[in-house]
């Protein structure tokens, strides 16, 4: 099962927020039947921008990406991976 639209939207949103957009990477994996997880990694120092105050930016990104996933017919979970 593929979530191409959700992945593209996620990459676009995160790259628009961070200072180093070329270091944004989104890995896609299927967690369960019909559920896709997107693991987002960003460059050093950019995680704070992506999470935002009290997680508001991260929550907004998750909401928009879930809506894009619905277009692909899959449920999408977005995880922000801090390396």
pTM equals 0.90
Q: Strand pairing partners for 32?
A: 35
What are residue 5's phi and psi, to 5 degrees? -65, -45
What is residue 81's three-state secondary structure? coil
In the block, tokens 């449920």 appear at 75
d(CA 6, CA 3): 5
Predicted confidence (pLDDT) per residue in 27-51, tens digit: 999 888 889 999 999 999 999 999 9
CATH superfamily of 4-80: K homology (KH) domain (3.30.300.20)
- Among the residues of the chain, which ranges form H helices? 4-17, 47-51, 56-72
Q: In whole angstroms, what is the distance from residue 35 CA to residue 53 CA?
A: 28
Please check the confidence at residue 1 and state whether its pLDDT lies above 70.
no
Q: What are the extents of the domains in the chain?
A: 4-80
């Amino acid at each position: 099962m593929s979530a191409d639209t959700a992945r593209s939207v996620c990459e676009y949103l995160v790259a628009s927020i961070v200072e180093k957009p070329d270091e944004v990477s989104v890995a896609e994996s299927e967690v369960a039947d019909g559920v896709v997880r997107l693991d987002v990694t960003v460059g050093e120092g950019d995680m704070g921008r992506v999470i935002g105050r009290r997680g508001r930016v991260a929550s907004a990104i998750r909401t928009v990406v879930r809506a894009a996933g619905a277009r692909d017919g899959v449920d999408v979970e977005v995880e922000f991976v801090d390396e």
